[in-house]
Chain A
């Protein structure tokens, strides 16, 4: 698709591609703390069933993921691992920060070992508040992200640079 890389994609084609991307999100789960269980409920339980939104959980590796959900407390010890995970994902990549801890430190705002928000390490697209957020809240976060993806201008996103996997 030379058109994508040249940044001269016609609008209808952009729309088509965006719809395809929005309904085939492979989500990598980065379960850290309490939120991981609620994320598990959203992804693996029959009641919430994330796949009906066109989101496919549990890819084999971050290399094949479009989206990562950081769910739980990020500690200073964990931060380098998260950074490395993010770098392994191919562009375009999206991040959902789930729960108060990942958003801003949450109840551990004054702790000596907790990173005050995952956005200090990697860029975040959608913040889901709550401690922990209910699975429905995570699903809403995913829907919001899908809306964002649907309205994205691919040329702005890639600026004509070739796609590189780090």
Chain B
């Protein structure tokens, strides 16, 4: 028996009573809050119906589909070169990265391989689209937590990267530059020197955000310990990309799945974070932009000479068969499962997009959190609506 003084007992009773009063006074009837389909905090057209008990979320039900455009059906009535035009628009921030796995799968069925120079340029553009994509996340997440400045920085430095992509491919947003067997064109003159300069700017941008945000107390309070995803749950929901690595799972297709890109020839690092919270997801993405900038510099240094197009027929008919190709896109694992019946058009294209899986965890993750944390969690999961709805 522990001796508890009368004074302590009274204090305990008083505190219990105070708690009770707070609970009684703040008690509310259940409320349903509809966020979206068009709301600044959903960055896109995701609609979330949240059932609230006071300030706490009891159940959350995301309603996607406001951007469903039917890519899989439309791919069945388009020839292979026409499909790349379409799938550019799935993840519209990192468009080039959408083309690559589709082209790789088609190349696998046709048993052609792009020449080395084309593979290197593909990797360069792939990483540039990663920077263009994730840089906007780095600013956007801050703006959702109330800090407006970083988004201006993000838009400013993103323009440099978009200029690079545009001068190489002709398209600012949707390059449509990848071809079965190689690339449409070679890099323009002077592009490499300019790229090296821009990559310094990207590194400076990352340092700037690091200094602005990661040490910021408000940012830390809003993100640390918020929206924790354990590794086991993350795997069962198929989270990928930085969301998975922020839960401590060391897995990156660029390193672990050999495909037609040249990551194995580069010196880089896969970053993971053990915490699995919003902060970890932000931190991992910041490191990834840094790594991507480093990679682009290395790729520009080692760019081999040679042709950029393998021998392929002018009218592309893909032999019958099934192929699956996957790459580590800015948002996570993106794969295409192509079923071909030996025609000009694919018979079935299954698009496995990262955001669809990443956001399917939301009902599980939002249960029990407070309303302000909903914003922080959704922002840190980072989705593109086109990538969810397809």
Contacts and interface: CB of A to CB of B under 8 A. Distances in A.
Contacts of B151: 44
A110 B209 CA distance: 43
Contacts of B136: 37
A108 B74 contact: yes
Contact of A75 (B38, B67, B156): B67
Interface in A8-42: 30-34, 36-38, 40-41
B149 to A, nearest CB: 11
Contacts of A81: 37-38, 66
A110 B155 contact: no
B152 to A, nearest CB: 6
A131 B174 contact: yes
B89 A33 contact: yes
A121 interface: no
A16 to B, nearest CB: 35
B86 interface: yes
Contacts of A75: 65-69
Interface string B78-95: 000000011001001100
Contact of A32 (B45, B77, B93, B172): B45
Interface string B42-86: 001100000000000000000001111110011001000000011
B382 interface: no
Contact of B156 (A46, A110, A114, A131): A46
Given A32-B45, A38-B173, A78 B66 contact: yes
Contacts of B232: none
Interface residues of A, number: 31
Given A73-B67, A110-B74, A41 B159 contact: yes
B173 A108 contact: no
A6 interface: no
Given A33-B92, A107-B85, A132-B173, A46 B70 contact: no
B69 A110 contact: no
B54 to A, nearest CB: 25
A85 B45 CA distance: 14
Given A34-B174, A37-B93, A107-B89, A73 B69 contact: yes
6 contacts: A34-B174, A40-B155, A75-B68, A81-B37, A111-B73, A113-B68
Interface of B: 37-38, 44-45, 65-70, 73-74, 77, 85-86, 89, 92-93, 136, 151-152, 155-156, 159, 172-174, 385-386
A-B residue pairs, 6 tightest by C-beta: A45-B155, A34-B92, A111-B70, A78-B66, A108-B69, A113-B68
Interface of A: 30-34, 36-38, 40-41, 44-47, 72-73, 75, 77-78, 81, 85, 107-108, 110-114, 131-132, 134
Given A75-B66, A107-B85, 4 more contacts: A47-B159, A77-B68, A110-B74, A113-B68
